Amino acid sequence: MSATTPFWLDEPYEPRAPLAGDVEAEVCVIGAGVGGLSCARALAQRGVETIVIERDVAAGGASGRNGGFLLAGMAAFYVDARERYGRELARDTYARTLAAQEEIYALADELGVSDAVRRTGLLRVSASEEEAEHVRRHVEALNDDGFPGELVDLPAALRRSFHNACLTEHDGALQPARWIRALAQAAERAGARIYERTEVQGPVEPGVVVTAAGTVRARHVVVAADGALAALIPGVPVRARRLHMVATEPLPERLVDCPVYARFGYDYFQQPPDGRVLAGGFSDLDGEGSYTDRDEGSAAVWERIGRYLADDLGVQAPITHRWVGTVGYSEDGLPVVGERDGVFVAGGYSGHGNVLGYLAGQQLAELIAG
């Protein structure tokens, strides 16, 4: 059972030119995903000369290979984040990601890709009685701190396999590759230069970015390559991890109208407007084997996702795409954002980077621009 082109990336695309020779800039950003492009656009808008270097193409990494969920908050569910990190940090982070989420919706509309960034809401469903109680506590924690979230009836298609559901109406669904590529174009219009198909040689040192095609000298270097962060910045408390996804042929019927998190977030799926189902998860089945920076999938995990579609969701449509995305998981579940040994870093979103990465890029731009 082999991988295919990721569904989100399975459409025509003309890559930008790679780096050719030595160049200089005020800032060099490594990684044309959500964090790097958010940072580059914000810097360019402030008049800072910025170059972006990407090993593959824009959205070719985790930002274009994920489940397509646009979620507020941390990787941990809000009730767990309060217990793990303290109520103040959990509340502040949730509020800031809510604001970033609204900014993303507005920007997508401005860039003409609102069809790729849709406010749909998120259903978090429980696969056991134990999890059902956790869902109830999750809603209570959100409401206690003034955030929206409510217990709702399960859609008919989910009632045979799940117990209850929490709806957070502010969350959304992405076609992540289209969104990221629109963000890349916005960064270019602001003045940033983007070079694709250019692999950086690690470890990255302050002031200089070395590639086989040339060297970039910059006053500031930003490493925003989430899945490759540990390889480029040795010692950073982030491990690369592969996450599996599949896509089916379109279904004639609608199962759900918004993304769904299940089994404490280990399983997830959505049904875009075209009717197909995209599902992923079972990283716990993958175990220690999931911690790798190689884009090679596990046949056992893909097979398990297929059985999940059939047995739990009643989806019999053939699977058309299988792929993995390599993301960065931090040791404590919190993003790693800031300066480290003279280099700015952003990553370690623990599979929750579509909003956190955007916000991290904005924060680094503010730090660099003063």
Single-letter amino acid code for the residue at 43? L
3-state secondary structure 291-356: CCCCCCCCHHHHHHHHHHHHHHHCCCCCEEEEEEEEEEEECCCCCEEEEECCEEEEECCCCCHHHH
Structural domain boundaries in the chain: 7-369
Q: Which helix (H) or strand (E) holds 160?
A: none
Q: Which helix (H) or strand (E) holds 83?
A: helix 78-85
Residues 218, 77: Cα–Cα separation, whole Å: 39
Residues 146, 127: Cα–Cα separation, whole Å: 27
Q: How many CB atoms lie within 10 A of CB 97?
A: 20
- Name beta bridge partners: 211: 200, 214
Predicted local distance difference test score (pLDDT) of residue 370: 83
Residue 283 structure tokens: 């990283």
Cα separation values, 361 from 33, 37, 301, 344, 356, Å: 10, 7, 32, 10, 9
Residue 26 near residue 203 (C-beta atoms within 8 A) = no
In degrees and rounded to multiples of 5, residue 294 shows phi and psi of: -95, 135
Predicted local distance difference test score (pLDDT) of residue 295: 82
Predicted local distance difference test score (pLDDT) of residue 2: 81
Residue 120 near residue 167 (C-beta atoms within 8 A) = no
pLDDT tens sequence for the chain (370 residues): 789 999 999 999 999 999 999 999 999 999 999 999 999 999 999 999 999 999 999 999 999 999 999 999 999 999 999 999 999 999 999 999 999 999 999 999 999 999 999 999 999 999 999 999 999 999 999 999 999 999 999 999 999 999 999 999 999 999 999 999 999 999 999 999 999 999 999 999 999 999 999 999 999 999 999 999 999 999 999 999 999 999 999 999 999 999 999 999 999 999 999 999 999 999 999 999 999 998 899 999 999 999 999 999 999 999 999 999 999 999 999 999 999 999 999 999 999 999 999 999 999 999 999 8
Predicted local distance difference test score (pLDDT) of residue 141: 98
Residue 69 near residue 174 (C-beta atoms within 8 A) = yes
DSSP readout, 181-218? HHHHHHHHHHT-EEE-S-PBPSSPBTTEEEETTEEEEE
CATH top class, domain 7-369 = alpha beta
Going by C-alpha positions, the residue among 324, 313, 172 that lies closest to residue 246 is 324
Q: Which helix (H) or strand (E) holds 241?
A: strand 238-248
Pairing of strands 193-195, 208-211: unpaired
Residue 185 structure tokens: 């174009």
3-state secondary structure of 155: coil
Q: What angle do CA 39, 45, 46 make, to 5 degrees?
A: 95
Residue 58 near residue 24 (C-beta atoms within 8 A) = no
Going by C-alpha positions, the residue among 349, 352, 357 that lies closest to residue 32 is 357
